[in-house]
Chains A and B, each alone.
Chain A
Amino acid sequence: MNWEALALTLRLSLFTAAALLVLGLPLAYWIAFSQRRWKFVLQAATSLPLVMPPTVLGFYLLVAFGSSSPLGRLWTAWTGHTLAFTFAGLVVGSILYSLPFAVQPLVNSFLAIDPKLIDASRVLGASRLATFFRVILPLSASGAATAVALSFAHTFGEFGVVLMVGGDIPGVTRTVSIGVFDLVEAGNYAAANTTSLVLLGVSFAILVMVYGWNRGAWPRAPWA
């Protein structure tokens, strides 16, 4: 078992899930509550990673990170190196790749909140921001937990994007799934099997947690 790869993957999943919670909350809020007619376009864009092959996303990321794109040049000028082949680059890729897994549960739980509660908060003098933190967020705890768990699990099993932009550097970008790929390519089936089982086990455990949570199998607040 490659512990270095496992630790790296856990770190990547954790960073990505945390970043997605921070990014996903305002995005989901906008999707859930905006009155804009064209908001479905953003909704569709957010869901793209669900249907797009990760290799396509990885390919465009690689181009965007590279010296031929203004974005890539800017980053390189600022930090001295390209985002590709770095942990930060993987986090960026994973955020995009797992975006719908964070945003969808949040949007759903926002929409499940009785709008009268939001009205009540506003009438009682709370600003939109205060209403978000004092009413919407506490009532969406279950959705937020689902968002974090799903984006964590999705990143944990991510392969295509990492393969495209990672460069397979041990301890930096060689995640468990890439490790499995390498082992199979090298014909080392026994080691590939061990590593795959660990990946499977962790993913399954997370999903059991999420489904159990959604079915109310564990105690939680009476309003959730």
Chain B
Amino acid sequence: MAAGAVGMSGSGGEDGSVLDVFVRKRFSATAGSPAATQETRFALDVRFALPAGVTILFGSSGAGKTTTLGAIAGLVAPDEGRIRLNDRVLYDSKAGIDVDVSRRSVGYVFQELALFPHLSVERNIGYGLRRLAKPERQRRTGEILESFRIGALRRRLAAELSGGERQRVALARALVTRPALLLLDEPLAALDAPIKGRLIDDLRAWNRARAIPILYVTHSREEVLALGERVLVLEAGRLLADGLPQEVLGAPRSETVAQLAGFENIFDAQVVALHEDSGTMTCRLVPPEPAAGRGVDLEAPLARLDSGAAVRVGIRAGDILLATEEPRGLSARNVLRGAVAGIEERDCQVLARVDCGITFSVLLTPGARRALGLVPGLPVWLIVKTHSCHLLRPAER
């Protein structure tokens, strides 16, 4: 899969897409603007198409997510590219088209929300309706205040709102202008899960009638899985993957995506034997430092590789079983003997580090930890299913 061409099937619009984006922008250290310094290390180069409905743009911070949104909204000038929304070309470097920000009909909810601190909730929401006659403006403002359940707040200033209320106001302010596209930049990052869920439900309900594309930016794996919509994975300015969250994050084919998706165990390995009859191959995991251990052999799903090939193997900490006695009669091909090297408590999870010649991270519940009486030094067995061993394309250096 070539980076930068993800999701671009044919020319824009023929597949029913509503928004086509192609943006290239290089950041140089000498750009003069102090804001550019953090993003100087990469060039943004993305190409994708969106249908109506929610699409997630997922990536770590600094990956270029906000810059991508800025280019679509017209706040950031690309070096080259083309952006089409419905039948309007918003930007085309070749044709010299660059529609002004104020005329792009794009709704944008900023990460910082950017509510106007000197205006009441009502006037914040009415801000984008300046061109309408006053009665119409009031009608639409009232309507959206109702549907977002913030009518009681209409006279308050932004400083007098809770986090969830501010989020609602920001969303309402963007939607009341009836945009043809909605850009959401980590709009829910600061919210509790229940509030988040209700807000997303509100948004989905609102969009059922409108059917506009919504590009939802996040760096949170949990949010991606919770939303469950198509996800574009952006890293260092390039799109690395495109698909449903389960496909992209559950079985990542690139190490970067694996890291983003939360693969705690990623190892260098070498193919030592192919077993075509059983559909597996043996990979020898190489310790990070040669002196650290003897290495561990794992059965992984068969791939088109030659014996001796170098691969990377990723295993989720939550996909590994832990036993205090040697297990028998299992379908799992990999049973590794080791000892607990360390235990870390995180919120309501326990992360055990187990040394089997190579150190694995294993995730379990506090209850399981108590039942097994895990303490450092305890001999244990790790059980890893063949299909929990994901072969990864190494990260581009």
Contact = CB atoms under 8 A, between A and B. Distances in A.
Contact of B101 (A123, A134, A221): A123
A124 B108 CA distance: 8
Contact of B114 (A37, A116, A126, A139): A116
B33 interface: yes
Contacts of B118: 135, 138-139, 221, 223
B389 to A, nearest CB: 44
Contacts of B102: 122-127
A4 interface: no
Interface in A44-93: none
B14 to A, nearest CB: 29
A214 to B, nearest CB: 18
Contacts of B75: 119, 122-123
A169 interface: no
Given A117-B114, A123-B106, A222 B159 contact: yes
Interface in B103-150: 103-104, 106-108, 110, 112, 114, 116-118, 127-128, 130-131
A130 B32 contact: no
A35 B35 CA distance: 12
A121 interface: yes
A120 B106 CA distance: 11
Contacts of B114: 114, 116-117, 119-120
Interface in A7-63: 35, 37
Interface residues of A, number: 22
A116 B127 contact: no
B177 A124 contact: yes
Given A119-B75, A120-B108, A138-B118, A125 B159 contact: no
A135 B119 CA distance: 9
B177 A125 contact: yes
Contacts of B107: 123
Contacts of A125: 102-103, 128, 130-131, 177
A116 B177 contact: no
Contacts of A121: 116, 127
Contacts of A138: 118
A123 B73 contact: yes
Contacts of B131: 125
A6 to B, nearest CB: 37
A119 B127 contact: no
B5 interface: no
A126 B102 CA distance: 6
What 3 pairs across the A-B complex have the smallest Cβ distances?
A: A124-B128, A223-B117, A120-B114
Interface of B: 32-33, 73-75, 101-104, 106-108, 110, 112, 114, 116-118, 127-128, 130-131, 157, 159, 173-174, 177
Given A119-B110, A123-B73, A223-B159, 8 more contacts: A116-B114, A117-B114, A119-B73, A119-B101, A121-B116, A121-B127, A123-B107, A123-B108
Interface of A: 35, 37, 114, 116-117, 119-127, 130, 134-135, 138-139, 221-223
6 contacts: A35-B33, A122-B74, A123-B174, A125-B103, A125-B131, A134-B127
